[in-house]
Amino acid sequence: MFSEHVNNTISRLLIGIEGERKKRKERMKKLWLYSLIPLVVLGISFLVYPNPVVLIASGVGTLIYIIVIAIIGYSSKMKLINVFKQQVLIPSIKEAYPGVTYAQKASITRDEFVHSQIYSASSVDRFKGEDLFTGKHGDTTFKFSEVHVEERRTRTDSKGRTQTYYVTIFKGIFMIADFNKEIQSHTRVMQASDGFFEKLFAGKTKVSLEDPVFEKMFNTYSKDQVEARYILTPAMMERMIELQKTWGGKTHYSFKGHYMFVAIANSYNHFEPEMKQEVGLDQIKRIFNEIDNCLSIIDTLDLNTRIWTKQ
């Protein structure tokens, strides 16, 4: 997988992280065991002094203790994940994927996400993302990251009180890739979820294509009927069906300017080490597998074929 020098360095680092992980696991086990002490104290004190004040005070104490342990546990886990990503994952990716850059804390930006017009800008109220990969795969420049987008909504109860809450409108992998054909207009391919009225009011922007499986799976909208078909050739439609079957989640596309935008909904947290398992080369292999799956979007959609005027 790596050159000998990198392999040695990474193996040494992994041994260190694995040691830390085991120590942390033991420490956390002890801390959780200690939480039984206030619970026992709570029980005994209630038996000795059956006073509600004692009960409430002991209860609050136990709760605070549990919250503190949870915070300690979370922050120590994140610290280990950060060490893994910074010291192991970044150099590993550099070695295994020449030309690909990985940034743990960066992501596709809100502006880029909105620019795709897959979701309306007014729905993007809370935006966050991580694990940004940028680079070139074959002849295709790309960037992708995990993205989580939420829309703010309000509800009013019977007493007239309004409450604000957030609803996830997209969570998954968002990719921007250089498309292999020139695009003048804008074409959207949305996984078939639009209701009767959305289709009805789509009017002339709705594109009816020949592939019945594709038509059942996706709704296509474009201001340019010819360009939509120029992008969505019969072969491209088949590739999109194949990609959807591989990923399973809802997949939306937008073709605009020089770019293709792909949003694949998926609740799984990608590119993360699993701290409940041994931190070793297997974890790196699993993450590489996830990166390969994302890069295979470019291969599946055949974006490296550059036989048209755009190179």
Partner 1 sequence: MDTTLIIILVAAFFLIIIPIFLYNGLIGKKNRVKNAFSTIDVMLKKRHDLIPNLVETVKQYMEHERGTLTEITKLRAQIVDNKDISNGERVQLENQLTNKINGLSLNFENYPDLKANTNFLQLQGSLNEIESQLSASRRAFNASVLEYNNGLEMFPSSIIAGMMRLKPAEFFEVPQEVRENVDVKSLFNN
| Least CB distance to partner 1 at residue 308 (A) | 5
CB 124 within 8 A of CB 113: yes
Residue 65 is inside which H or E element, if any?
Answer: helix 52-83
Please give the residue ranges that form the binding site for partner 1 (CB under 8 A).
Answer: 181-182, 207-210, 225-230, 233, 307-309, 311
Residue closer to partner 1 by CB (options 93, 240) is 240
Residue closer to partner 1 by CB (options 123, 185) is 185
Residues contacting 157, CB < 8 A, separation 6+: 163
Per-state percent for the chain, helix, strand, coil, to nearest 5:
50, 25, 25
Residue closer to partner 1 by CB (options 8, 305) is 305
Residue closer to partner 1 by CB (options 228, 264) is 228
Residue closer to partner 1 by CB (options 21, 181) is 181
Task: Please provide the distance, in angstroms rounded to a whole number, between the alpha carbons at the two ends of the chain.
Answer: 32
**In which region does residue 205 sit, left (phi positive, over 0), alpha (psi from -120 to 50) or beta (all else)?**
alpha
| Least CB distance to partner 1 at residue 208 (A) | 6
| Least CB distance to partner 1 at residue 230 (A) | 4
| Least CB distance to partner 1 at residue 258 (A) | 15
| Least CB distance to partner 1 at residue 236 (A) | 11
| Least CB distance to partner 1 at residue 229 (A) | 4
Report the alpha-carbon distance of residue 179 to residue 142 in Å, rounded: 9
DSSP string, 152-216: EEEEE-TTS-EEEEEEEEEEEEEEEEE-SS---SEEEEEES---HHHHHHHGGGEE--S-HHHHH
Residues contacting 98, CB < 8 A, separation 6+: none
Residue closer to partner 1 by CB (options 164, 208) is 208
